Amino acid sequence: MKRSSIIDARRKQVNPEVRERVELSFQIVDRIHEILTAKGLKQKDLALQLGKKEAEISKWMRGTHNFTIDTLVAIEQALDAPILQVVHQEEAYA
């Protein structure tokens, strides 16, 4: 996915204490965008599948939304694609 210079500049302005959380949020948004693009879908399509307003999805896609596990699962189910991958401790420290 082509990264926006505006978004990259915004990422650099984030306080270092919260940068890691914000970066993960941006990665989630990037992944959702990748899935939508690959499937030829728009945010409006995701909104319809989730029973949400398009404005809410747009807010999520700005990269500052604090996704809940329930929301991520609902998005994964709606898009029929994984967003996050959990690595077991044994694999992470091997």
Q: How confident is the model at residue 79 (pLDDT cuts 50, 70, 90)?
A: very high
* Mean pLDDT of the residues in the chain: 86
Q: Of the candidates 71, 63, 52, which has an alpha carbon nearest to the alpha carbon of residue 3?
A: 63
d(CA 1, CA 54): 22
Q: Which residue shows structure tokens 């990037």?
A: 30
Question: Up-side HSE of residue 80: CA atoms within 13 Å toward CB?
Answer: 4
How long a stretch of residues is the chain? Answer: 94
Q: Which residue has the higher pLDDT, 24 or 55?
A: 55
Give Cα 76 distance to the centre of its chain: 11
